[in-house]
Amino acid sequence: MWLFLRVICNESKCRQGTVTAGGSSRHLMEKENLIELKVLGITRSEVQPGAYALLLQNADSTPDEARRIPIVVGAAEAQSIAVHMEQVVPSRPLTHDLFVSLFHVYKIELQRVTIYNFKDGVFAAMLHVTNGNVEVDIDSRTSDAIAIALRTGAPIYTTPEVMALTSYEWRRDGDYKPQRPVRLEDLPVDKLERRLQHYVETEEYEKAARVQKIIAQKTNPAAETE
C-alpha cells in the first residue's frame, strides 16, 4: 500500500511490481476504444459451489436486450459488493472502504476501471488513478476493482475483445445469442492504426503484418486488383 502511495505521489513515470505509468498498451485502453459496463448484482454461481457470480452488462443496453458478462467471485468480494449495493453500513470499514478512505486522504482519484483481459478463465482489471499531476495504472483483481469503483462512482469499462469472448446476449423474450467475434476487418482505420502501433511496440510482428495488410486494403482498395 505504501509503495503505491509513494509511486503515485512522487514519480512521473514508473514500473514497479503491478504499478505502471504509461506503457505500450495504454492506447488500447483509451475510453474511445472501450465499452462501458454497469453492475447488475450478485447471484450464487451455478458453476462453482460456494462462489458467486457478479453480473455486468453494457451501459447502453435497453430494457429489452443487453450483453451480459458473468464473473465468478469469492464470498468475501461478493459480500463487499452486495453490502455497498444494498446500502448497508458495516460496523467497521471493510477492506475496500479502507482503500477509498486512503484515496480521499491522499487526494487520489479513481478515473475508471478497465477489464482488459480474459485468459484461462480469469479476468484481469486495471485501476486508472491520478493525484492531479500523475496518472498511474494499477493491475487488480476484477472483483476488487469493481468493489472500489462502486464506492467511488468511477465508470467501469471493458475491451471489445473481452466482451466478445465472455458475454452473452440477454433478451426479455428469453432468446439468447452468442456474441459474434470481433473481426479486424470490421474495425475503422484509426483503431487499426492503434493496434498496429501496439503490435509493433510489443514485437508481435505477425499480428502487425496482418493489421498492416488490412489497413492497406481499406485505404487503397485499388491496389488489391492490380
Radius of gyration of the chain (CA): 20
- Over residues 57-76, the pLDDT tens digits come to 999 998 888 999 999 998 99
Whole-structure pTM value: 0.67
Lowest mean pLDDT among 3-17, 33-47, 79-93: 3-17
Q: In the chain, what are the domain boundaries?
A: 2-182, 183-226
Position 103 confidence tier, pLDDT thresholds 50, 70, 90: very high
Distance CA 91, CA 64 (A): 39
Distance CA 167, CA 179 (A): 7
Sheet with 19-20, edge to edge strand ranges: 15-16, 19-20, 135-141, 122-130, 109-119, 156-158, 35-44, 52-58, 65-73, 168-171, 177-178
For the cut 50, the answer to whether the pLDDT of residue 6 exceeds it is no
User: Tell me, what's the pLDDT at 218?
Assistant: 83
User: Tell me, what's the pLDDT at 64?
Assistant: 86
- Over residues 37-62, the pLDDT tens digits come to 999 999 887 666 778 899 999 999 98
- Over residues 156-199, the pLDDT tens digits come to 999 999 999 999 888 887 655 555 556 778 778 887 887 777 77
- CATH placement of domain 2-182: 3.10.690.10
Region 81-95: what's the mean pLDDT? 91
User: Tell me, what's the pLDDT at 180?
Assistant: 53
Given a contact cutoff of 8 angstroms between Cβ atoms, the answer to whether 29 and 139 are in contact is: no
- Over residues 108-138, the pLDDT tens digits come to 999 999 999 998 889 999 999 999 999 999 9
